[in-house]
A and B are shown apart, each in its own frame.
Chain A
Amino acid sequence: MKKTFVIALVLLLACTFVFAQGADEAASAAKAPAKGDKVEWWDHFLPLAQLHRAIWDQSEKETGIPVEYTQYDPAKQTEALMLAFRTKSLPDVFSQVFSGVGIEATLKSEGWFSPMAVNKSELPRIVQDSLFEGYTLFDGKVYSFPTYSINHNAPLWYLTKYVSENEVPRTFAEARALGRKITRESNKKTYGFVVPYAFIGRMDATIEDMMNALGSDGYINWTTGEYNYASEEIFKVFEFFTGIWDDGSVLPASVNLVMRAARERWAAGDGAMLIDGSWNIGVVKSNFPTLYNNGSVGVTDPLREDDSKPYKVYKNPPTGVFYISSNSDNVDEATNALLKLMGDDYYIGLAEAQDQPPLDVSAVAKASVDPTYVEVCDMFGRTMAYKPSPVLRNVEVAKVSAEMKEIHPTPAEILQGYVSGSIKDWKSELIKYNNAMTKERERAIAKCQKEGINVSMNDWIFTNYKYGESYLTNLYAGSYRK
């Protein structure tokens, strides 16, 4: 008994010491940062962390205000932000990680944001021109600003070790043949493709990008307002993705891979071709340096049916990246930190990180980057355009999106279902999805109308839209169907 007692006493003393230590810390922490003393910053941009850290350190030297940074995995960030919002402990600055049409407008109406402490007119020209009411401006006040210019997810990246210059595929047929060849010749050591079938959000976006490349408006037909989930173009994209799977040219593990993992397998040589955005080369630089800047990697336009026709991939005008939270006590300091993310130096830094292209694309030419990055940014510049945005024309549309329930399975889920053997007839699933989405949108519109919100099916119709042209701001006026 005595021995136990002694041990217990020692343990107790140790614990008390530890506790006292902790209590001291707590006290000192409570005394520390008060208002205006630091800026809390959460984002999911691991590749930019170094660039930002350098900027913040510089700024701290000048103003004495440190930036406290927490790196998040976007999957965890959504939950963290929602819980932080509930308890009024959102960080001063956070990156907008939520998906959904018009999400910025929804968040604004729910009270998530504080406006920046700066007037629109005080910002650089290039930033001013990229601000839109309903995305980054609300009631004329600046809430956020884009740091990227539009880009898409469908460029085709390949390892030059397996794909020689004259073999680079431009059409579905060429790609499928090449995929079969690579798989066969390497005796399945290297497959033709790695496809992140499990990365649903991205695959849904990629499918739409490739539909654009085929000449479609995307998921919504802007002339009739109808959904395109059962259109010819989506069927062609599906025939490609299911075709390469049926050919056996896709790394079998792809069924379960998210983008991160798919890229890792591709870089390791398990597959020769990968469909990914411009950031692919940025990740290659930091994670697979042996492939960087030595011609090991090549990139080309999205695969399509007929590569002689010009195409445009459509995206909404860029929206804000970082927002200031409504419970922030340090709006001025946060604004100052954010203002550092404009200007040539920053854009060149962004270009060198080789993530999404910077807002000022000309910075790419001034930065030291891999040739593929120059190529892919150039591609975006040539082949991308703004699509019409229902939310920008009528901010109430965001309420309809918030009301619409998610329908499953989405196209990407259908695709994963097919390659995992759970679905045989993807076409009928797509048709089912199209019908369900149409019905759900009608229901949501009806419900919103009953609550007095000013929306209708006309909000999805743009009479002056034409495929091949960029839908610029001046086109919005007078675009309603009578």
Chain B
Amino acid sequence: MTRGNRTLIKACICAFLALVSFLWIYPFLWMISASFKTTMELFQNGLKLVPQHVSFESYIRAWVKGNFGRYFFNSVFVTVWTIILVVVRCAMAGYVLALYDFRGKKAILAVLMATFLIPTGTTIIPTVEISQALGLLNTRIGVILALGGAGNVAALLLYKATFEGIPASLREAAEIDGAGFMTIFFRVMAPLAGPVTATTVILTFMGAWNNFMIPLVFTFGTPQFRTLPVGMMAFQGANETDWSGMAAAGTIALVPIVIVFIALQKYFINGIAGAVKE
């Protein structure tokens, strides 16, 4: 491939990516500008991005109205623990399902796959009822268990695939060195699942951070434990929507996820490459 060709391809790809990125982030930019507009301005100016004034009044209002201080803390708390729960349990289950055959394995996999594709519209009712029976309502730990305990078959399957892809030689070498089950898992295998772990962290973060119904239902009696999405309800009434407040709230709520995403980017790069070299 000639130098010229390579540059041309690079330029095309950049142009393509730039277009894609523009389309992808335009609504986000619009949301930020919406947080500075009055409702009238928002609908009269349509898709234009530049607001008439920039005042952070809506951010302050969003913080107070959405009870952001407290709800932010709750969201962080619930999300962090949900991530820990999901990563740990899915990695462990995926590991075992990948490397060993045992009685019941087929059954477990079959159940997982079968229940994966069932609509979940009404499952909130039994979830709430069994949580009540277990005394988990009105607690944050109830929220964490409900968010982290259900589903997440995606993460489990990805861990399974990753562990299946690790050469047996690695594990055998460790066994020969006298390493036990736990040591092999924690020190040898798990670190190699970096990309999948980073992926799971981000997606669980997002699912838990943005979940509305579970935190709402689990905090009927304890509103001080509510999370940000529940707080966002304050911006939408029957007859009207506080658009600038909601946009400001949406922007504030989005910042942590983006930060985590950027921070975890480098873990996408660390693959098996490093370990296999050893």
Contacts and interface: CB of A to CB of B under 8 A. Distances in A.
- Asked if chains A and B are in direct contact (CB within 8 A), the reply is yes
A270 B217 CA distance: 39
A46 B213 CA distance: 20
A123 to B, nearest CB: 27
Contacts of B224: 25, 29
A15 B84 contact: yes
B240 to A, nearest CB: 5
Interface string A253-297: 000000110011101111000000001001100111111000000
A26 interface: yes
Interface stretch (A81-89, A204-212, A222-230, A298-306): A81-89
Interface residues of B, number: 37
B40 interface: yes
Interface in B108-155: 124-125, 128-129, 132, 137-140
A289 B225 CA distance: 35
B39 A84 contact: no
Contact of A46 (B44, B223, B239): B239
A72 B241 CA distance: 12
- B39, B213, B223: most-surrounded residue (chain A CB, <10 A): B39
A87 B128 contact: yes
Contacts of A355: 239
B44 to A, nearest CB: 5
The CB with the most chain B CB atoms within 10 A, among A21, A86, A282, A355, is that of A86
Contacts of B241: 260, 264
Given A87-B132, A267-B43, A15 B81 contact: yes
A37 interface: no
Contact of B44 (A44, A76, A79, A269): A269
Interface in B43-69: 43-44
A393 B221 CA distance: 38
B233 A71 contact: yes
Contacts of B128: 83, 86-87
A264 B39 contact: yes
Chain B at the A interface: mostly helix, strand, loop or mixed? helix
B40 A283 contact: no
B217 A18 contact: no
B68 to A, nearest CB: 15
B43 A264 contact: yes
Nearest to B234: A71
Nearest to B45: A268
A289 B223 CA distance: 33
B20 to A, nearest CB: 27
Given A19-B81, A87-B137, A260 B240 contact: yes
A22 B236 contact: no
B117 to A, nearest CB: 23
A80 B225 contact: no
B22 interface: no
A480 interface: no
A287 B222 contact: no
Nearest to A4: B191
A2 B80 CA distance: 23
A87 B81 contact: no
Interface in A354-380: 355
Contact of B40 (A68, A70, A87, A287): A287
Nearest to B41: A268
A70 B221 CA distance: 11
Given A22-B140, A73-B237, A267 B40 contact: yes
A21 B43 CA distance: 43
Contacts of A263: 239-240
11 contacts: A19-B77, A25-B224, A26-B225, A45-B237, A47-B237, A47-B239, A83-B124, A83-B220, A87-B220, A264-B241, A287-B40
Those 9 A-B pairs whose CB atoms lie nearest each other, nearest first: A46-B237, A268-B43, A89-B220, A268-B44, A287-B39, A73-B236, A44-B238, A283-B240, A288-B40
Interface of A: 1, 4, 15, 18-19, 21-22, 25-26, 29, 40, 44-47, 68, 70-74, 76, 79-80, 83-84, 86-87, 89-91, 259-260, 263-265, 267-270, 279, 282-283, 286-291, 355
